[in-house]
Structure 1
Amino acid sequence: MVYTALLRGINVGGNNKVDMKLLKTAFEQAGMNNVITYINSGNIVFTTADQTKKEIARILEEAILGTFGLQIKVLVLSLEDMKKVLSALPDSWTNDDKMKSDVLFLWEEIDDETILEKLTFKPEIETVKYAPGAILWAIDKVNVNKGSLSKLVGTKLYRQMTIRNVNTTRKIVGLMLAAEKQLV
């Protein structure tokens, strides 16, 4: 099966530095196949069989600890998981000079539509939606500093999610679809 691993909090502000070539090797040594890394924020597409997502995450967290000495949370999502998120993501949402749109990927412990009740957001300037496995968030670029996403940073909820912009999310799904074609 095709999976993506989203690493939380690597290569941010000079902290938790992880070299992508070494990370690819660590994933391969941990038994993952067809490993592809995408940009420096910890997005890895790979294939593996006969393991649950939780088992894969544990294996990868141990591999990262062993290789880099870092305790990094890893969220493992299947191609089907990512397709559900992508199908809920409006095509009009962009991450450019006009709009900022992010996908807040959720760990299983908080993955429920009621998560929206725990968030404070400003519906007059922000659009926030739940999709299975994620919160979708968009705001016009001119309002970013007035938005609520920055208030989420450092909270207990924030530690149970990892954020990617919509461009990165769409690219990851594209890489996963290409990996799936190679399996056939």
Structure 2
Amino acid sequence: MNTYVALLRGINVGGNKKVSMAELRELFSNLGFSNVRTYINSGNVLFDGKQVSMKAIEMAIKQRFGFAVPTLVVPVSSLRAVVKATPEMWHNDQLQKVDVLFLWPPYNTKTVLKTMPLVAGVDETLFVAETVVWRVERTKQNKSYMQKGFIGSEVYRHMTARNINTVRKLVSLVGE
């Protein structure tokens, strides 16, 4: 049995695509997963399972809630790799913004960085475990490619983001 995190894209944002975390936990339990728990209201579902089908999860969500929700299932081992590779001084706070971009195939390779014209001296990135970890100082955020050109791009439509604090918390909830 392995532990996974399902990352739901675009739920409970601005009053749209409202999904109850209690109903989401029940849905995952009904799909046969165990030790199901959620973290915050943005669609982070931790669970244990043997065989995991993202398509089956997406279909169950659509059937239950009445709308499609792109869902990426990531092994907790990948989140651990992200946390380990990210410098400890990178955290989401008033001085800096650090997001982890979880990418759907075929964008989940290092070549994705070539499609992101990052601004030297502004954007800092790492590629680890099929994700891009992106850091920018808040005072430079308005100069960042990630703020200007990224939203609406092809890659943007095939990813979901969590800030590094959330990713670290998800790993801590699972433990070693």
Q: Same fold (TM over 0.5)?
A: yes
Normalized against structure 1, the TM-score is what? 0.90
Q: CA deviation at 1:91?
A: 0.7
- Between the aligned partners of 2:106 and 2:13, the Cα distance in structure 1 is 24
Q: Is 2:103–2:159's contact at 8 Å kept on the other side of the alignment?
A: yes
Could you say which residue in structure 2 is the equivalent of 1:12?
Answer: 13
- Between the aligned partners of 1:81 and 1:169, the Cα distance in structure 2 is 10
* More divergent stretch after superposition (164-173 vs 137-146): 137-146
- Between the aligned partners of 2:41 and 2:95, the Cα distance in structure 1 is 24
Decide which of 75, 83, 86 is 2:83's aligned counterpart.
86
Deviations 1:1-39 (A, max 9, x none): 100000011111221111111111111111111111001
Give the share of equivalent positions with the same residue, in percent: 39
Decide which of 156, 163, 167 is 1:169's aligned counterpart.
167
Letter in 2 for 1:69: G
Q: Is 1:120–1:148's contact at 8 Å kept on the other side of the alignment?
A: yes
Deviations 1:60-86 (A, max 9, x none): 111111110111111111122112212
Letter in 2 for 1:162: T
Decide which of 125, 143, 156 is 1:158's aligned counterpart.
156
Q: Is 1:108–1:133's contact at 8 Å kept on the other side of the alignment?
A: no
- Between the aligned partners of 1:120 and 1:10, the Cα distance in structure 2 is 28
- Between the aligned partners of 1:73 and 1:103, the Cα distance in structure 2 is 17
Q: How does 1:105-120 map to 2 (within 5 A)?
A: 105-120=102-117
Normalized against structure 2, the TM-score is what? 0.94
Q: How does 1:25-40 map to 2 (within 5 A)?
A: 25-40=26-41
- Between the aligned partners of 1:15 and 1:145, the Cα distance in structure 2 is 26
Could you say which residue in structure 2 is the equivalent of 1:181?
Answer: none
Q: How does 1:41-80 map to 2 (within 5 A)?
A: 41-49=42-50, 51=51, 53=52, 55=53, 57-80=54-77
Could you say which residue in structure 2 is the equivalent of 1:182?
Answer: none
- Secondary structure of 1:115's counterpart equals helix
- Between the aligned partners of 1:149 and 1:13, the Cα distance in structure 2 is 21
- Between the aligned partners of 1:40 and 1:123, the Cα distance in structure 2 is 34
More helix by share: 1
- Unaligned stretches of 5+ residues in structure 2: none
- Between the aligned partners of 2:110 and 2:159, the Cα distance in structure 1 is 14
- Between the aligned partners of 1:94 and 1:86, the Cα distance in structure 2 is 11
- Between the aligned partners of 2:55 and 2:63, the Cα distance in structure 1 is 12
Deviations 1:100-145 (A, max 9, x none): 1110011131111111100011121121121121001001111112
Moved beyond 4 Å, runs of 4+: none
> What RMSD over aligned residues (CA atoms) do the two structures have, in Å?
1.2
- Unaligned stretches of 5+ residues in structure 1: 179-184
